[in-house]
Structure 1
Amino acid sequence: MENLPSPTDWAVPFFIITVAMEWVWSRKNKNIRYETKDAFTSLALGTGSVFAGILTGGFVLALSLWVYEHRIYDIQVGWPNALWIVPLAFLLDDFTYYWFHRTAHRVRWFWASHVVHHSSQHYNLSTALRQTWTGFFALSFIFSMPLFYLGIPPALIFFLSGLNLIYQYWIHTEAIDKMPRWFEAVMNTPSHHRVHHATNPRYLDRNYAGVFIIWDKMFGTFEPETDEENIQYGIVKNLGSFNLLWAAFHEWIGIAKDLWSAPWRYKINYLIKPPGWSHDGSRESSETIKARWAEQEREIWQNLTSSSSAAVPPAVQSQDG
């Protein structure tokens, strides 16, 4: 198990080649959009994320092995047990990813790291490589610890997590519309993940899946892509800059400012409440944005129904009851 390779390291040439191919293709296909400065910012953030992982990986590995030493089951991954253990471990790893990802959108501390991935206003393969430098600081790795405690070897989970990330790479594109219906029903796809990266109110905080979209359907966070409106990408308050350091650290800076200025009884809430929360209600969160949008939709529907009723002759209205 200790000799398992890092799938993401092996996939780097594939990432580079396919980004270049999509970039060239975007010049002929208006459905694929690239902005040079934005793409280079994404690539630089991805490169920095690799170095950050090298610097902190030793500690994560040491902690993982310590938890594994206290495991409650001694799972043997040799043949033929691997036939069922490896698929089960992949499913469990994807399940923990769903909860990490959902938490990363609902708790500001985790969002401060994850927001980097959502900060591009474009959606293409380079966006997939826009990764955080502060995942270790945000303690993102703690979501995998229960798997080690169960007795799944850390090396196997690290390997499968790499495969999970490679799968998620190809769904960051507008070049693919919809996959076959059976595939869309079970797997995460470009269509499902475009919803996740959207800032349209109907799409906020939806489709957290890594590989299997079934988790969103099970836990009530699924939203299908619709043709009714064009998707707007980015974050609720966009960066307005391609500055690399600002992209990497802007939300941590925002947290520091809030902790400095907020009354003592509210300080902890600026860490654990959803992004956009404020003690005086002066900011917008995804909840307030969605609530306002839902109210507007209700008003539009009421106006349409009242207008259609007024257009029906009185005699017809009475006949219909």
Structure 2
Amino acid sequence: MDLQQLERELLPLTAYAAPVIFGSVLLEFWLTRHDEDHRYQRHDFWSSVGIGAGSLLINGLLKTSVFGMAIFFSDLIPWRIETHWWTWVLAYAVIDICNYFAHFTAHKQRVWWATHVTHHSSEHLNFSTAFRNSWTQHLKLIFFIPAWLSGLNLVVLLTCYQINLLYQFWIHTEMIGKLPRWFEFFFVTPSHHRVHHGSNERYIDKNFGSSLIIWDRLFGTFQEEDEKPVYGLTKPVESFNPVYLNFHVWADIWRDLRQARSLRSAWTVLFGPP
């Protein structure tokens, strides 16, 4: 498969979903406008919008590179898995578990945390918080190399990638309570993701799943929502500037690397805990 064929066959699902996403933000804004605890805060909202706009621009600029990377690794392996209904299920599971490990690592190693910290910078949780995608998040695409090497159809994989990304939008809200137990057992819900965004001691580094919570249950990172979450970072960032929120950890890393006196200390700066 060449680049032109991939771009031609892949539907831009995120663009099709845009009216639903923006409509959901407006609806949540309207429903919470008189609620002091849950209503949108002006500076926080525009910070999220600024971060999201920058992320969309970068996504557009890097789209061809992302597709090229997927094709490069896919071409390295000699086998192909014929597309059936069950390969869609398999492809989605592969994308989801790659996302789980990318997310897990981003909370455990400082250099990867720098690509993710922006998403946790808000002290509120609403649909606009989902816009806070780091401008350097594409570095985490290396975690999806196993997917590109699987032999599954790239159109199927990248479609599942888009669906997975879109799924994550609706879980950023306090307006949806707990859902039926069977659903909460298999799928990530707003309740699960509120835990993930909580800075409560018992909530830190829990619920990394993007759409399937079963990975957290299997790998011991699951936590039920059993106390009110306190959102944001354990060391709050006193800024609403999108540029600062995207690069303040990178600046800290660069400062510490300049002070490192050995390869071991440099390695710790990059891959030690955040």
Q: Is the TM-score greater than 0.5?
A: yes
Pairing 1:168–2:171 present:
no
Equivalent pair of 2:195/2:224 in contact (CA under 8 Å):
yes
**Equivalent of 1:114, from 113, 116, 132?**
116
SS at match of 2:99: helix
Corresponding residue of 1:100 = 102
Unaligned runs of 5+ in 1: 276-321
Matches within 5 A, 1:241-280: 241-264=239-262, 265-275=264-274
Alignment identity in percent? Answer: 39
Q: CA deviation at 1:72?
A: 4.2
What is the SS of the residue equivalent to 1:203?
A: coil
2:28 to 14, 17, 22: 22
Alpha-carbon distance between aligned partners in 2 of 1:154 and 1:204, rounded to the nearest angstrom: 35
- Larger Cα-atom Rg: 1
User: Which residue in the other structure is 1:142 paired with?
Assistant: 142
Contact 1:120 1:234 in 2 (8 A): yes
Equivalent of 2:127 in 118, 125, 128: 125
CA distance in 2, matches of 1:105, 1:252: 15
Structure 1: distance between partners of 2:50 and 2:18? 14
**SS of residue matched to 2:116:** helix
Deviation at 1:259, TM superposition (A): 0.7
Alignment RMSD (CA, Å): 1.4
| Deviation sequence 1:127-179 (CA, Å, 0-9, x none) | 0111111123xx21111111121212322222111101111111100011100
Distance 1:50 1:28 in 2: 31
Segments of 4+ moved more than 4 angstroms? none
- Offset of residue 14 of structure 1: 1.4
2:54 corresponding residue in structure 1:
48
* Aligned twin of 1:75: 81
Q: Which residue of 2 aligns with 1:89?
A: 91
Shift of 1:13: 1.6
Could you state the TM-score of these two structures normalised by the residue count of structure 2? 0.93
Deviations 1:164-220 (A, max 9, x none): 111111110001110011111111001100000010001100000011101000000
1:76-119 deviations in whole A, cap 9, x for unaligned? 22xxx2x1111111111111111111011111111101111111
Give the secondary-structure state (helix, strand or coil) at the position aligned to 1:142.
helix
Structure 2 CA distance for aligned equivalents of residues 153 and 46 of structure 1: 29
- Rounded to whole Å, the distance in 2 between the matches of 1:150 and 1:181 is 33
Q: Does 1:62 align with 2:61?
A: no
Cα distance per residue 1:227-246 (max 9 Å; x no partner): 3xx31111111111111210
Higher relative contact order (CA 8 A, sep 6+): 2
Cα distance between partner residues in 1 of 2:129 and 2:175: 13
Q: Distance in 2 between matches of 1:182 and 1:74?
A: 35
Query: 1:107·1:273 contact (CA, 8 Å) conserved in 2?
Result: yes
Aligned length: 267
| TM-score, normalising length: structure 1 | 0.80
Alignment counterpart, residue 236 of structure 1, candidates 234, 237, 240 = 234
For 2:188, the aligned partner's letter is: N
